[in-house]
Amino acid sequence: MNESPAIDVAGTIQSTRVVKVLKEDIQKRGNPTVLLSENGPEFVSTTPLAWAAKSGLTNILIELGKP
């Protein structure tokens, strides 16, 4: 089942904020088996990808042009 466990509303969001929100959610809910995200710059930058790898998460990016 896919779900969006956290919503963070902002005009723009930086990759460090993405990592902060993910860490907070993992503390509440535990580690996911897979981290599925879009290809926005805040998700594909070095910061969240390196953090996911360091945390033992499998990071899957949605294919371009796919919903």
Given a cut of 70, whether residue 67 has pLDDT beyond it is no
> Does residue 9 sit within a domain?
no
Q: Average pLDDT of 20-34?
A: 88
Is residue 18 exposed (0-12), middle (13-18) or buried (19+ Cβ within 10 Å)? buried
Which of 2, 8, 30, 6 lies closest to 55 in space, CA to CA? 30
Q: What's the structural domain count of the chain?
A: 1
Q: Average pLDDT of 12-26?
A: 88
> Does residue 64 sit within a domain?
yes
Q: Average pLDDT of 36-48?
A: 83
> Does residue 44 sit within a domain?
yes
> Does residue 37 sit within a domain?
yes
> Does residue 8 sit within a domain?
no
pTM, entire model: 0.73
- Domain range for 67: 33-67
Q: Average pLDDT of 28-55?
A: 85
